[in-house]
Each structure stands twice: as structure tokens, then as C-alpha cells.
Amino acid sequence: MAEVVLAALSADPLDVAAHHSAVVTSGTGAVATFTGVVRDHSPDAAGEVVRLEYSAHPDAPRLLAEIAAEVVGTHPGARVAVSHRVGVLEVGEMAIVACAASAHRDLAFTVCRELVEQVKARLPVWKKQVLADGSHTWVNSA
């Protein structure tokens, strides 16, 4: 049975261990985990990135849960937990955490990748990249 055990937006730092623990059951043989981390550069920016400012559409929490449900719905036996940050994030902080658990590694890897790709493509979250010189750029996806 596929299950979404956590799907949330958070202004607080994300906890990888909490996501991992949320998906593990006695039948779990594999957990694939992805963390998206704020870096100091971007192909969309003409300078050093010093922080990101994420904002989200009011429907984003509901849509995140729907995206997660769609992904696990096509993969019986998978369990997922996914969260995305909003607010101000410094370089090195996690912007997204996704964990996918299953009895076997291939399914865990597949589901985790699909979940992250779907969230990135469809979640209405925008990021403002603030550069060292004080300028900024906007990117319209997570």
C-alpha cells in the first residue's frame, strides 16, 4: 500500500531524521533521501548568491500533498515524506527534503526522484536569489 506520511511547507529548518523516521516501517528495506541545499551560485544569477527568499501560493500545502499522493499512487508499496521551506534561507540550509521508503532500493530511488521532480515542476513556490552586491533575481520554481 502506498502512503504519504508527511507533506508540508515550513518556515522552520527541515529535519532529515524526522522525515526518515516517518517513512520507515518493519517492512522497509530501503529509504532514498534527497536534500536540496542552498548554494552560493546559480546559472540564473550573475554573481554570488548569499541567501534565498522562498514564497508560496496559499494553495501550495494542499498541492504538495496532492503531488505526493499522485506519485505514490502509481507505486504500490512506497511511503513518502516531503517538505519544502518558505522564508529566508542562508547558503547551506536545506530547501527541500524528500524521503521514499519501500521494501527494495529500486522502488525507493524511483519514487524519491519522481517526487522531487514533480515538486520542482509543479509546486507554486518562487525564490528570490539575493546576491552579494545587493541585487536579486527571481526564479519561478522550487
Domain assignments of the chain as residue spans, ordered by start: 3-139
- Give me the DSSP letters along 7-46: EEEESSPP-HHHHHHHH--TT--EEEEEEEE--S--TT-S
Residues 6 or more apart whose CB falls under 8 angstroms from that of 19 comprise 6, 33, 81, 82, 83, 97, 98, 99
Look up the pTM and report it. 0.94
- Portion of the chain with pLDDT greater than 70, in percent: 98
Residue 93 pLDDT level (bands cut at 50, 70, 90)? very high
Q: Specify the CATH superfamily of domain 3-139.
A: Molybdopterin biosynthesis MoaE subunit (3.90.1170.40)
